[in-house]
Structure 1
Amino acid sequence: MAVQIVRHASGVVPAGDELQLMARAVERFGRVTLLVPSTSERDVCRRAAADAHLGVGLDIVTPTAWIEGLWELLGDGRRLCTNLQRQLLIADTLYARDERELAPLRANPGTVRMLARMAKDLLPFAEGAKGPADAATRVVFSLLDAYGARLRDRGLIEPAQAAVLLADAVADLAPACARCAIVRDVTTLPAHLVRLLAQVGRAGSVQVLLRASQQVWEEEVARAFSQVGCAVERALELGGAEGADGAATRALSFLEVAGPHARARAYADELASLLSSAPAGDSGRAKTAVVACARPAELFDELAGYLAARGIASSVTRFSRFSQTVVGQQFAALTDVVSRMKAAQEGQVADGAWWPAPELTDWLYAPVSGADAALARGFDKKIRSNRALGVEGVLRELQSVQSRAGSARRKLADDHPMRRVPAVCSEVVQFIWQDRPVSAFKSMLSAIEALPASAFGTRDGRCRQATERAMAERAVDVLMNEARALDVSQAVATKILDGLCTASRERAASASFEGEVGTVVFMTLADAAVLESASVDAVLLTDVDVASYPLSHEEGPVVTLGSALGADAVVLEPAARLRDQAERAICASRGSVALTRVSHDRQAKDRYPAALWTELLALRGGDEAPVEKTGEGDVAGDFDPAGTGTARVERVLCLPPQRLGVSAVPYLVLMRRTEDGALVPRQFSASQIESYVGCPLCWFVSSRVRPSMIDAGFTNMEKGNFVHDVMDRFHEEVRERGMRRVTPENLRASLALLDEVFAAVRAEHARGKTASSAALVALSPTEQAQIDDILPQLRRVVRYEADALAPFAPEYLEYSFNGLGVDYAGWPLGGRIDRVDVDAEGRAVVIDYKHRSDANPFKLKDPTAPLKKTGEVPADDPRWLPEHTQTLIYGQALRRALGLDVRGALYFSTKGKVAMRGAVSSELAEEEPGDGRVPGLRDGFPAVQAGGTMDFDALLDRVEEGIAERLGELRAGRIAAAADPLTSCYHNHPLGFERRDA
């Protein structure tokens, strides 16, 4: 006997000559097997066979079910391995190996999936085979051998192995149940199925039915059977059934949408048009349209609202993978972050590997945690703002969240929907920490069952809740029952949970319509292809582009290994499969059929049409065929599901960049109410004033827009805070020990004291305790090394102080102006200055620490002295102000608040080359090295030798006058960028409306 290839012209449902062929086969062999690719097509064919009175002699099954049935009759007692069992045993095989044994492979879920695919189709050909010399192939063969041994130990066998053994049994026994098989629409023939069918063909009869769109596969099918020694005949050709006309005779229309924004509205309008133009059916029957697309659930979510607004109901079967559910996403994220936290606690990795743990915040936001958004926000703020919290601190805070949530729930009314919802946010993390995944899933399940459906969404909350519940229950079943039955540990079983999938049916409709226009069912093109001819009123094939329907052949390690073993699967050409499925889907419509696609993406780049679009368009006349085009000009219609009739459209005129409206100006200067009820401006610190004077736009962005960092950082700001704390504590200790200040005589003792203070302040910062705004907390060895580098820098600072400003000693440290009631330039002044040194005569020098390596930008020359290059006098400009004014502002304020004779306003660079720079009166400028004044500062006020006339007091007054003018502009609402902005300004300017039209 031989395998016969039969051409036929039937539709989805067997009819006419095809049914007669099956009837003759039943009459001849008594029992015939019809192989179909899916359970959906199986049900269609079973109804047709029943209508044709073929009786029980025709068994209609999928290839896997056929092999399973034969194995029950002819097998050796072993059970066929299921997909889940295969995943579990492959994972157990893989994760039992040492990483060095697996190289160059890695033990991860991707490798598990690859090996599972290889085992499913290639195990009988790979077991015992000797691979090439490359290491990866040798490891793959050894893993497959080990997997085969695990199957035997558990009394299991792969369907592919069973098929190979059944082929030998059929050859020896020729049982009546395996003498005739008809293959219909099965477009993938693995090597083991070809071998089994070939033996059935030798013993009896095998017929492969190919419709017109599948006939390009004929030569490949014939070659596959010939290679296993089976003769092939191609003699039969069946006629078509009535009504099985092809896509060429159907009424097709083509819709091209200009871009993605108009996609939903255009598709909904097209569906409404198809339903309204569909011929009237039986009385009382609602019209039905089918939408065939690559991702039905996604398109349903996008179109359901638009369709409901047009009185059209819609439905979809949603398949949710483990990783697409909240339960799966949160379990995977928590498992990952817990593993990193445990490794950090054991000293294997740095704390930076897990902090700030955003996964925990996401977990608290998830409804299945039983917490709420307010607690999640508080938790997130506390964790992100404190790098010193540590693993134990985070876990304690998580337990606190659970306790507070539970306490709040107990205070709710008995009829409140959240009254009995358990808070499980901490216990789930603890269960995962203790390697108890089943308990973790059960805790999530308890929260899911108690939550109201609205917690999962107002539109489809009930359906999503059912999906989450089903996924949690399935995960518990896999870990408790399936894994235990196979003697696979729960830790390994959790690695394959991503393969779990649940199905749910969703429907959307509008309550505002008395009678529905019709119903739209979303499905894949493969599902639409098994619909019976003329079974629906309209068909819409959406997103017909190469991204949704590619024609690429499968490549990868599975295909490569199959070729190396001579066990290639016989697969229908992708273009032919697409053509075949599309033609059958089109024939399912008794009315109109439309093809739609989006011609451009969001970046206005072309999206190329699929081969299906091009071929069908060519059948309609090529370039002359009408293609309806929809643009994106209707903005309101594109974004409003109900249409432009209910949307309010307004044209908004934007202000020019960097200009505020009249209503916004009062918010620039924040006010406070005094004891007598008057409104006065809030205090401005010197740094805020300096920021505004330097660039109003930068001040606006930093002080009013305030784009602050989310996480506590390890930046120059934190390092500066650390240096401030060390120097403040150091000078306090110097005074307490009676040394008054650092001198050359006590330098050695001062350096020893600095080491003690540095260690104490470092320990305080590591615990998150600091007088500054942000602690310097190291979370990695690299950051620890950066803190170590600060100590030698500060030792150079102390050595510098021994020779600088000899008559002066630190008198006021971290001095605050907030409660003094001092005005500057007519505005209340607040803030604090790092240090004020005073001598015995009441003279004072204001000092501000700057933890940066270059002090030269803080130099200030007498503005009345002509410039050497141009001869210009800077002070002649009425708007002249120095770039850095902070110490000058506080110097003027100290004259008023404390009556001090301020003689200097300096910036002290504590990094790199230590130096003091700024402005001092002429008596403090250095004349000779080591004279006890300010080392390296040669020019004072006035700079007589350079032709200057402004003394230090005049400088303070001039700066205050200039700042008063600028603050008046601030009150008027000026926030424009500086004409000559600093380099640092460019970080803020993009936030300051440079791209306001974006």
Structure 2
Amino acid sequence: MPGQSAVEAFRKKAARRHDALSFGATVTTPASWLEQLWDVWGDGRAIATRSQRLLGFFKALDNTPDLSSSSGMASMLMRLANGGLGSRELDAALQGECVLEESFGPLLDALRAYEAILAGANLVDPGRAWGVLARRELVSRPMRVSVLGMEASNSLTAFCDSQPGIELEGEGSAQIFPAPAGVRVRFAFPAGGYARSLLLCDLLKEMLESGCSEGGVVVAARNPRVLYESIAPSLAEASVSVAFEGGVPFSATDFGRALLRVRDISTSDSVVACCTDFLLNPFSGVSSDAAYAFDAWARADRLTSKEACIDKMRAMSSSFEYFEELISSPDASVLSGVVEDRVRAAGGVSGAYRAEQLAALSMFRSVAEDARRLDASMDDCFAALEGAQVPSSRIAGESDPLVRVMDSRRAALLESGSFGGVILCDMTSAAYPLNERSDAAAALLKAVGIDVGHSTLADARRVFAAAVALPARELVIERCLKNEDAAETYPAAVVEEFVDLYRNDPTDADEIDNQYALPSCFLSSIIERGEESLYENSAVSHGEQPASLVDEEPSLAHVSEGKLPHLVLPRFLPDGGVLKVPCFSASQIESYLECPQKWFSQRRLRLDDLDEGFGALEMGDFAHHALKRFYERFREEVAPKVTGELLPAARAIMHEVTADLAAEQEARNPSDNRLVPVQELERRQVQELMARLEGYLDLESRLLPGFHPTHFEYEIPVSGAVDYAGYKLIGSIDRIDMDDAGHAVIIDYKGSLSNDYDLYDSEGKERGGKVQALIYAQAVQRLLGLDVVGAIYVSYGRAAQISGAIDVRLEPRHLPGIKAKACTFAQGPLSDLLDATELRVAHALDELLSGEVAPRPARKESCKHCPEISCPQRRG
């Protein structure tokens, strides 16, 4: 029989019925029978376990250069060995006694290497063991071998055929039968995955109340653990105990995940996420607060090295070093005892959780021990663990479980008719596909003359038929009508065959022409549930959603009276004092004018990313520093202003300045907006920026003839904050140019410009969006007593662009790339525009300090870089 559960069920059933088979037959599995025969007639080698075989295949692949050493290739070699190793046909091919295509050569080489590796460890493949036994006459008296619930393997069939005293009989062709007499058959159709859990809970309660409690109910699912976790709390609350029986991937256990994360840390160049994942694991012994603090520390510095992360991990977690040892060598698994002691001593965990972690630890030890025996590497160990399933079980509730959740194969091994009800879940064609395998292993077996006719349809029929025979009272077949992509699902092939047994005419397509693909005899008992009841489906409960907290709805539009003192924080003075009156920067004011809520989220809530950036902000800071340094050197070494004839000298200085600045960036504090490339693409972006700054000098040589730069990064400090719009203004002005008549132009550098920077739109209406340069222009007039004739934005990007606001006294031809009509203020002197802007700003700041922070984007572009992606007023 296919598994030990089926063996035990068969024995119990035979004993209850006083069947002669209780005494006259040996009921076993192929693997157990092989062990019994090999113990007596074998050659002294031990039969290799699954992990030993996988390790042998991986090691063989390392010695076969024509094949990739991957899990997929190892699995294919496993199928090849299962299908023919030990047979006369495949042995002839391995010994070169038959002519095959040259492409099969690497596969045969890998099999030869695999067997040699096992032999070196005194192990033998199960297929080879069957082959050895088949060459010996072991059975002298007549014996009938019946294969039930499975298809006999080629190795088992060959062995039985080789023994003259054995008569081998199978079950015949796999076939689906109607449900046993007296068993009610129904179909359940949740509209989608969200409705499924509550539908199943309701259905299980109904089945248990209607008589299925005698024997309980088996729920067979594609992913039984996920299903158990979704229904168990609700059922346990209703005094229905639920049990889960099955396996969990090694990588899904906390121990397995911790081990794999430490391995990833050792093999990967990008380790921050892996380090944080390990620290959040219970095996790290570190609090979640400490783990998140580590994450913020590492992400805030793009130059944080892998070595620095590992050193900090060692200091934080005493477990980390043990895990480092465990992944270093198969011999280090002896240290796992320390981890085991911690698992056993851990408090606040369930017995099932502890057992699961200990099982994962035991599996790792076993595979490491096998690796030592086969002289395999740790890489081979982890490859063998990749698809391993750790035995796992869970029970929710205090009494004996009335509901057992498992996969369909495990359910198929149970005793027929021993349960009150059965629910077969996920019965879709996608969950149970019938893809016949066709690969190099199947082709090689076919080429040497071995039958590879194992049918996935026959296997699916066998499992489904066994599951259908389990209930004594009720069978329910469940299928979501829509999948996770809201696409229509289709019934599994075995369900279609089962339904055909109940049709009046299987050739009449109209008989099942409905959304359920069912004949009329089932339509009156269909169980459905939609996804529209969001809370009930999510909570797996029919109760009303309880209020966990009752509070007034917060307002996005206004800051409450009690919080107003915290809206604008005070500024610290150089002498340690505090400037208590509200103080703003021009960029801060511009942000508020764009959208009050954007200002609040960016400037007050500081919804910034944890990671140190490499984007427009960092590029802009680099460019500003470079342009300031350039002109300071150029004025000192060459001339007050870049002109056409001085371009070669200017380019040489800019090249040196940007190169020096780029070299300095790594030494700066990460809290600064430094530009630090860590990838080749980013290095190219920095080189491109440096080239653009050199190219910008062409525009600079034609910009404002008659003017010359006089101030760079002109700072308005907190201690010297200027009065503006009724409040204090601070900030840094990129550049101020002057002519001999005392006229001044405020220049603000930008990486790129859009129409938003123009003073007027295409219809001649004032845009009023970008006001930073205008605000600083007014401040300069007050601080330096200059006559400002321009407040412009100059792009150092790929295109020569200038925008902003200029006085009629400033000629547009001296501003290359400017749109004269859109940027010239013709209603009077530029000071009138500056005064009007100040009045508008005063009104806005009054609103700000009154707590007005409503989401009110001035235009759709205002929302472009806003972090509040769920804002109800978001545009564009």
- 2:3 aligns with 38
Cα displacement (A) at 1:53: 5.8
Aligned residue type for 1:145:
R
State the partner residue of 2:673: 774
| 1:505 paired to 2:393 | yes
Question: Aligned to 2:487, which of 602, 605, 616?
Answer: 605
2:139 aligned residue? 175
1:197 matches 2:160: yes
Task: Please give the secondary structure, in 1, of the residue aligned with 2:711.
Answer: strand
Q: Which of 671, 687, 700 lines up with 2:567 in the alignment? A: 671
What secondary structure does 1:590 align onto? strand
Pair 1:294-2:222 in alignment: yes
CA RMSD of aligned residues (A): 4.2
Contact 2:248 2:389 in 1 (8 A): yes
**1:272 aligned to 186, 205, 209, which one?**
205
Aligned equivalent of 1:258, options 188, 191, 195: 191
The one of 326, 342, 361 equivalent to 2:276 is 361
Please give the secondary structure, in 2, of the residue aligned with 1:906: strand
In the other structure, the counterpart of 2:238 is: 310
Matched ranges for 1:573-972 at <5 A: 574=457, 577-617=459-499, 622-625=519-522, 626-632=524-530, 633-644=532-543, 647=546, 660=556, 671-672=567-568, 683-694=583-594, 702=602, 708-733=608-633, 752-769=652-669, 773-798=672-697, 801=700, 804-805=703-704, 806-813=706-713, 815-837=715-737, 843-852=743-752, 858=757, 860=759, 874=765, 880-914=766-800, 917-925=803-811, 948-965=826-843, 972=852
Q: 1:214 aligns with which of 160, 174, 187?
A: 174
Q: In the alignment, which of 67, 81, 85 is matched to residue 52 of structure 2?
A: 85
Instruction: Tell me by how many angstroms 1:797 deviates.
Output: 4.1
Please give the alpha-carbon distance, in whole angstroms, between the structure 2 residues aligned to 1:619 and 1:820. Answer: 92
The aligned residue for residue 60 of structure 1 is: 27
Deviations 1:699-738 (A, max 9, x none): 5665577664453333232211111122233445567779
Equivalent residue number for residue 302 of structure 2: 387
Q: Distance in 1 between matches of 2:329 and 2:581?
A: 56
In the alignment, what sits opposite 2:429?
A: 546
- The residue that corresponds to 1:120 in the other structure is 82
Aligned length: 841
Q: Which runs of 5+ in 2 are unaligned?
A: 504-518, 572-577
- Cα distance change on mapping 1:476 and 1:792 into 2, 3 Å: same
Change over 3 Å in CA distance of 1:447–1:848 after alignment to 2: farther
> Cα 1:900–1:192, aligned 2, differ >3 Å: closer, same or farther?
same
Q: Which residue of structure 1 lines up, in the alignment, with residue 319 of structure 2? A: 424
Helix, strand or coil: the match of 1:592?
strand
Q: Could you list the per-position Cα deviations for residues 277-323 of structure 1 after superposition, in whole angstroms to 9, with x for gaps in the alignment?
A: 21786xxxxx6222223332221111101211211001122312222
The partner residue of 2:286 within 371, 377, 396 is 371
Equivalent in the alignment of 1:224: none
Maintained 8 Å contact 1:365/1:376: yes
Amino acid at match of 1:563: K
Deviation at 1:508, TM superposition (A): 0.6
Structure 2 CA distance for aligned equivalents of residues 960 and 646 of structure 1: 52
Is 1:975 equivalent to 2:864 in the alignment?
no
Cα deviation for residue 331 of structure 1 reads: 3.0
Distance, in Å, in 2 between the alignment partners of 1:445 and 1:132 is 51
Match of 2:347 in 1: 452
Corresponding position of 1:525: 408
Instruction: Say if 2:236 and 2:397, in contact at 8 Å, map to a contact too.
Output: yes
Identity %: 27
CA contact (8 A) 2:584 2:730 kept: yes
Q: What letter corresponds to residue 629 of structure 1 in structure 2? A: I
Aligned partners of 2:604 and 2:680: how far apart in 1?
A: 37
Question: Is the 2:249–2:390 Cα contact (8 Å) retained in structure 1?
Answer: yes
Shift of residue 959 of structure 1? 2.4
1:536 partner amino acid: F
Q: 1:308 to 1:774 in 2, by over 3 A?
A: same
Contact 2:707 2:737 in 1 (8 A): no
Task: Name the SS of the counterpart of 2:365 in structure 1.
Answer: helix
Q: C-alpha deviations, 1:841-871, integer Å up to 9, x for none?
A: 765432211123x68874557x9xxx8xxxx
CA contact (8 A) 1:811 1:838 kept: no
| Alpha-carbon distance in 2 for matches of 1:915, 1:245 | 80
CA contact (8 A) 2:558 2:854 kept: no
* Residue type of the alignment partner of 2:856: A
Distance change >3 Å, CA 701–CA 430, structure 1 → 2: farther
The CA deviation string for residues 68-89 of structure 1, in whole angstroms up to 9 with x for no partner, is: 3323333333332221211111
Q: Which amino acid in structure 1 is aligned with residue 482 of structure 2?
A: H
2:43 corresponds in structure 1 to 76
After TM superposition, give the deviation of residue 386 of structure 1 in Å. 1.5
- Cα distance change on mapping 1:131 and 1:759 into 2, 3 Å: farther
**Alignment deviations for residues 146-198 of structure 1 (CA, whole Å, 9 cap, x no partner):** 2122233333322212222322213xxx5337x41322315222222222122
User: What secondary structure does 2:259 align onto?
Assistant: helix
Give, as a single letter, the amino acid of the residue that structure 1 aligns with 2:833.
L
CA distance in 1, matches of 2:422, 2:387: 32
What is the TM-score normalised by the length of structure 2? 0.84
Does the aligned pair in 2 maintain the 1:741–1:810 contact within 8 Å? Answer: no
Q: 2:373 aligns with which of 485, 506, 527?
A: 485
Does the CA contact (< 8 Å) of 2:628 and 2:713 recur in 1? yes
* Partner of residue 159 from structure 1, selected from 126, 150, 156: 126
Range with bigger deviation, 784-793 or 376-385: 784-793
CA spacing shift, 1:482–1:254, aligned 2, 3 Å? same
TM norm structure 1: 0.74
Shift of 1:952: 1.6
User: SS at 2:543's partner residue?
Assistant: coil
Separation in 2 of the partners of 1:78 and 1:563? 30
Indicate the residue corresponding to 2:575 in structure 1.
none
- Determine the structure 2 residue equivalent to 1:15: none
